[in-house]
Structure 1
Amino acid sequence: MFTGIVQGTREVVFVERRDKFASFEILLGHDLATGLQAGASVSINGVCLTVTQCSEDCATFDVMQETLRVTNLNGVQAGDLVNVERAARVGDEVGGHNVSGHVTDVVTVLDVVKTPDNTTISFQMDSQWKDYLLPKGYVALNGASLTIGAEVKDQTFAVHLIPETLRTTTFAQIKPGMKVNLEIDPQTQAIVDTVKSFMKQQQVA
């Protein structure tokens, strides 16, 4: 489990790709690698990955076919920066919201509007997710816990980022056309699905 509070961006230093498989070595740095062991879970661009090897500063992660299919890790190359968050521990402060690291889908950046104190990024999504993305609701994008903007349409939504979020995440380098991992808030999804199921039953009755 994660909180959606990205702890920093780190460089992918090596990528090995085979048929329907990839292995990533990421330079975590001493601060994020301290105490890390093989088998631990780490959020990489919002994807919960298992450490397969680790050293003083680096960790290696294996990525399987399904993860490559549904996330933007399929396009990550050596030299790219990724958002990193270590797994939450019992008793830690949850500054964002509960994030599982199970990516729902990828969304496409439509537009980036920057001002001195605010950045607005709009995204295009598959319309099947529109019922779960509510104005002022939670969403995780590349692992960052963010609040959805006021206007949500059938296939578009936006988020507003403060300078601190830009400083600690890859959103500072984001451009139109890029793919971003989306994780819908599971509590929102459960509530919406329950209400839709109840209304359907009422109509049948």
Structure 2
Amino acid sequence: MFTGIVQGVAEVVQLHDRPGLRSIELQFPPGFDQDLAIGASVASDGVCLTVTERPAPGRARFDIMQQTLSLTTLGALTVGSRLNVERAAAEGAEVGGHVLSGHVDCVATLLSVRQPEHNHVLRIRVPESHRDYLFARGYVAINGASLTIAEVDAAAGCFEVWLIPETLRMTTFGDKAAGAALNLEIERSTQVLVDTVRRELDRRLGAWLPALQSWAAERGLALPGGAPGPDRTGG
């Protein structure tokens, strides 16, 4: 379990690709790896990875499966890439953000960055499969950081988050420009609620639901429906 409070930024110092598997070595910020053992979990840009080796103080190696590489942004890593990192939460730890599993639901696209005074606003487009789970004032995890959604533009399939200077200092978001790919993990209680309502509508309306959705679409309305999103990935 993770809390979505990023504890620092790590840098990729080595990459080794084998058929179906990539090994990466990360250099952590000072003090991050204290008592970090083989088998421990570290959220890296929101993806739960398991420590496989400790080659030197301040460093750790991780193995990443091909499915994880293809379903997250980790497949695009190169030496020098920077990632948000968080250690797994200890029992009884304060949850300053919201509870995360480290299983990424989808990859979104950063459309634009605005910088009003003392703020940093990211506008992000989400795949259609996960748009129903996003609500203004709700939570979402972006590259492992727990953030509050400021507003949702349902018609455009976008949402915005506003970042304070401290968030920029502790994360890689200040490096991101339009076009960047971002790992998203949906807040689980929201997902459960939306999926439950969707299943209940399907059960109660049955064959009538497509006709109702068509009727609503003609009037610029939207009814929930459709298949759930793709499998999540993580350690």
Give the TM-score range, shorter chain: over 0.9
Displaced runs of 4+ in structure 1, greater than 3 A? none
Structure number with greater Rg is 2
Number of the residue aligned with 2:3:
3
In the TM superposition, residue 30 of structure 1 has moved relative to its aligned partner by 4.0
CA RMSD of aligned residues (A): 1.3
Contact 1:30 1:56 in 2 (8 A): no
> What secondary structure is seen at the aligned counterpart in 2 of 1:48?
strand
In the TM superposition, residue 152 of structure 1 has moved relative to its aligned partner by 3.0
Number of the residue aligned with 1:128:
129
In the TM superposition, residue 160 of structure 1 has moved relative to its aligned partner by 0.8
Number of the residue aligned with 2:106:
105
Q: Write out aligned runs for 1:157-168 (5 A).
A: 157-168=159-170
Number of the residue aligned with 1:77:
78
> What secondary structure is seen at the aligned counterpart in 1 of 2:118?
coil
Unaligned runs of 5+ in 1: none
CA distance in 2, matches of 1:30, 1:51: 17
CA distance in 2, matches of 1:132, 1:151: 11
TM-score when scaled to structure 2?
0.84
In the TM superposition, residue 198 of structure 1 has moved relative to its aligned partner by 1.5
In the TM superposition, residue 15 of structure 1 has moved relative to its aligned partner by 1.1
Q: 1:69-105: per-residue Cα shift (whole Å, max 9, x none)?
A: 1100001111111000000011111000000000001
Number of the residue aligned with 1:90:
91
TM-score when scaled to structure 1?
0.96
More displaced stretch, 43-52 vs 192-201: 192-201
Percentage of identical aligned residues: 46
Query: AA paired with 2:166?
Result: E
Number of the residue aligned with 1:19:
19
Query: AA paired with 2:77?
Result: V
More displaced stretch, 101-110 vs 21-30: 21-30
Contact 2:113 2:177 in 1 (8 A): yes
CA distance in 2, matches of 1:10, 1:114: 25
The structure with the largest strand share of the pair is: 1
Unaligned runs of 5+ in 2: 209-235
Report how many residues are paired: 205
